[in-house]
Structure 1
Amino acid sequence: MTNPIDEILGKPVTQPFAGQLKTLRLIANLTQMEAAIICHVNISTWQKWERGTHTPIQPTRENVLKKLESVRREQQKQLQVIKEQKHE
């Protein structure tokens, strides 16, 4: 899987999962609670992931990053529609 953050920044990112998670959450302009709800995890689990005290198994990491990237892309689409409507 291509790392979503690599695609956003246009270069490889070597930060650990906790940093990737927080970066994507902030790029998507989500609170920890919102991100936890979207990814179907408990808020305390999310906070442990962001602190790096716990790391989910690989398939879960991939799914979480994909969900956050999906939210970010949907936000971009919505912003594009709004911009296009303003120019009509």
Structure 2
Amino acid sequence: GFNVFPREVEDALMSHPAVAQAAVFGVEDEKWGEQVTAAVVLRDGQADQLDDITAHVRALKGAVQTPKVIRVVDRLPQTAVGKVDRRALRGMVESGD
């Protein structure tokens, strides 16, 4: 498999004008072991533009680093010390919340 560095993909996501915040994490995948998954918070007034955001990341980072799933969320959950809680995000995506 390929190593995907979450920060690089997050930077690509946040370079899209509709994205205010992004977090990238792996979700278990039978074929690949883990699939690249992202949660994004859109800027105020921005409509759901997931196809455009996906194309934007693919153009910058290539298909391997482009998230297979992008979920729009109201906010990114944080840990007690203020970091993005990737475990909580993974649970949200896996449970469909």
Which category describes the TM-score, using the shorter chain as reference length? Answer: under 0.3
- Relative to its length, the structure with more strand (as a share) is 2
Q: TM-score, normalised by structure 1?
A: 0.26
Q: TM-score, normalised by structure 2?
A: 0.25
